[in-house]
Structure 1
Amino acid sequence: MTTQNKSAVVTGASAGLGAAYAQRLADRGYDLILVARNTARLEALASDLRSRTDRTVDVVTADLTDASQIAVVEERLRTDASIEVLVNNAGGSLFAPVAASDAAISEALINLNVTSLTRLTTAVLPGLIARGRGTVVNVSSALALNILPVSAVYSGTKSYVLTFTQALQQELAESPVTVQAVLPGAVRTEFWDGSGLDLAALPDEWIMSADDAVDAALAGLDAGEPVTIPSLPEIGDWESFEKARQALVPNLSQRTPAARYRG
């Protein structure tokens, strides 16, 4: 995945995984369009990348929980023919029982993790397909699979990202456009601030650095993995999980109820 005079869009680019993606993609020769809420951090990252790599770096300040601000990014994705990569990294977290949660906070999380990702992907795909090349990376989470009592909303949003990506992979099976889902576990970033879960409460051996997580994700992309789980030692475990799911498919919709439900 190397190119010249082509652009990569990274959302949630001001820190953590997004900043690491920006750095790695610049090193691979991409010009960058960085999207996040914090203009000062975006500008600082952009300045560093310009001086270190001599790449063109544009900054787009946008709150992706807000429909009008999502629309600004959508317009860039639809109209900028240089765009070859979209990394949907922007996301938030919430760890609390549903009964103890604020519905408005949950709604904002869904808007960020699900709605904005869906809209931005929908905006960029027609151009990528028409140009005959491109990559979409959707950052999900290991908590799409490891569902916890306090992660109902968060795990729900990240499960959506995974299944949305898997459906796109089927849609684009005959296309040169690649779509990857990345399921990182705990990563040492600001993601945890205000999440309701203290990163310090987790064993250190569970926590990966952002640089290592992104390097693993890009290695998985280069290897053609449709789903990359940076911590998973054996990819065969994921493949077995998927085979078990596929084994259910022929019996998920039948004319009659299963025998155990019939008197």
Structure 2
Amino acid sequence: MTTPTTVLITGASTGIGAVYAKRFAQRGHNLVLVARDNTRLQALATALRNEHSVNVDVLQADLTQTGDLHTVEARLRDDASIGILINNAGAAQSGSFIEQTTDSVAHLVSLNTTALVRLASAIAPRLAHAGDGAIVNIGSVVGLAPEFGMTVYGATKAFVLFLSQGLSLELSPKGVYVQAVLPAATRTEIWDRAGIDINTLSEIMEVGDLVDAALVGFDRREPVTIPPLQDGAQWDALQAARQGLLAQIKQSTVAERYRGFIR
């Protein structure tokens, strides 16, 4: 019997990452768990080994630190058993753009975009060469909605969606599945860490429900999975409208509404 591929999960010590670890362990996958909190990682790893008889390696790493990031990249490049990357590590922060410091904004961008794209870049060539594997990038519905007021966070998640869609177009013909998962508000520690009171949110999804829905999309090989979206036809309509827009903006002629006399 073929041994299931190993799954590397970032941000695995708690929340979405920890539930992904539990679900893939239940499916019989060996794991590589990555996060900053070594104590939590070790406790989770021990529990999963005992409950599911899978191999679980722990990589303590802060993905905003160059040395730690390079260590995880090397593991993704060199460990041929890793066939699935769950790019989950991320952060948010409270306050408006002008209230946030330049350093805090840069830190957020570093974790939510730079680390994510570097890890995808580390594993993608190997998966494409093998003609198999998957990259799952955790985005957010906030990336679709500047109206939500989380400007930098939303911008990083818009990047995650665009990157995932572009990678899907490039890698799917080579046998590599790429999925973007777009949660809405989910009950995780990201809110406390960002200084946001979760009790101020009117609706919030339980993390187990979020991951289970995302895995339904994973098994269906959806390019984009939006667990809270009730009417999937709305996403299809948005994509169709976007494709229609592309047909209009590939022209070499200035639009009539912008033509006029130059003063």
Corresponding residue number in structure 1 for 2:5: 6
| Aligned partners of 1:35 and 1:61 also within 8 Å | yes
Q: Deviations over 1:20-71 (max 9, x none)?
A: 0000011111100000000000000001000000000000000011122100
1:248 aligns with 2:252: no
Corresponding residue number in structure 1 for 2:92: 93
**Within-5 A mapping of 1:181-260:** 181-203=180-202, 206-260=203-257
Alpha-carbon distance between aligned partners in 2 of 1:120 and 1:226, rounded to the nearest angstrom: 19
For residue 138 of structure 1, report the CA deviation from its aligned partner: 0.2
For residue 133 of structure 1, report the CA deviation from its aligned partner: 1.0
Alpha-carbon distance between aligned partners in 2 of 1:5 and 1:249, rounded to the nearest angstrom: 40
One-letter code aligned to 2:140:
S
Give the gaps of 5 or more residues in structure 2. none
Alpha-carbon distance between aligned partners in 2 of 1:256 and 1:192, rounded to the nearest angstrom: 47
Alpha-carbon distance between aligned partners in 1 of 2:189 and 2:196, rounded to the nearest angstrom: 12
Give the gaps of 5 or more residues in structure 1. none
Alpha-carbon distance between aligned partners in 2 of 1:109 and 1:44, rounded to the nearest angstrom: 27
Larger mean CA deviation between 62-71 and 192-201 belongs to 192-201
Corresponding residue number in structure 1 for 2:14: 15
Number of aligned pairs?
260
Alpha-carbon distance between aligned partners in 1 of 2:124 and 2:47, rounded to the nearest angstrom: 30
For residue 94 of structure 1, report the CA deviation from its aligned partner: 1.7
Alpha-carbon distance between aligned partners in 1 of 2:256 and 2:145, rounded to the nearest angstrom: 31
Corresponding residue number in structure 1 for 2:171: 172
One-letter code aligned to 1:248:
L
One-letter code aligned to 1:186:
A
Alpha-carbon distance between aligned partners in 1 of 2:224 and 2:5, rounded to the nearest angstrom: 24
For residue 5 of structure 1, report the CA deviation from its aligned partner: 4.6
Q: Please give the root-mean-square deviation of Cα atoms over the aligned residues, in Å.
A: 1.4
In the TM superposition, structure 1's runs of 4+ consecutive aligned residues that sit over 6 Å from their partners are none
Corresponding residue number in structure 2 for 1:48: 47
Corresponding residue number in structure 1 for 2:157: 158
Corresponding residue number in structure 1 for 2:108: 109
1:79 aligns with 2:78: yes
| Aligned partners of 1:142 and 1:185 also within 8 Å | yes
Alpha-carbon distance between aligned partners in 2 of 1:237 and 1:221, rounded to the nearest angstrom: 20
| Aligned partners of 2:142 and 2:148 also within 8 Å | no
Give the TM-score normalised by the residue count of structure 1: 0.96
One-letter code aligned to 2:54:
R
Corresponding residue number in structure 2 for 1:128: 127
Alpha-carbon distance between aligned partners in 1 of 2:196 and 2:145, rounded to the nearest angstrom: 15
For residue 122 of structure 1, report the CA deviation from its aligned partner: 0.3
Alpha-carbon distance between aligned partners in 1 of 2:187 and 2:45, rounded to the nearest angstrom: 22
| Aligned partners of 1:49 and 1:57 also within 8 Å | yes
Give the TM-score normalised by the residue count of structure 2: 0.96
| Aligned partners of 1:3 and 1:29 also within 8 Å | no
| Aligned partners of 2:12 and 2:33 also within 8 Å | yes
SS at match of 2:116: helix
Alpha-carbon distance between aligned partners in 2 of 1:70 and 1:35, rounded to the nearest angstrom: 10
For residue 3 of structure 1, report the CA deviation from its aligned partner: 6.3
Alpha-carbon distance between aligned partners in 1 of 2:25 and 2:171, rounded to the nearest angstrom: 26
Return closer, same or farther for 1:217/1:5 CA change in 2, 3 Å cut-off.
Answer: closer
For residue 160 of structure 1, report the CA deviation from its aligned partner: 0.1
One-letter code aligned to 1:231:
P
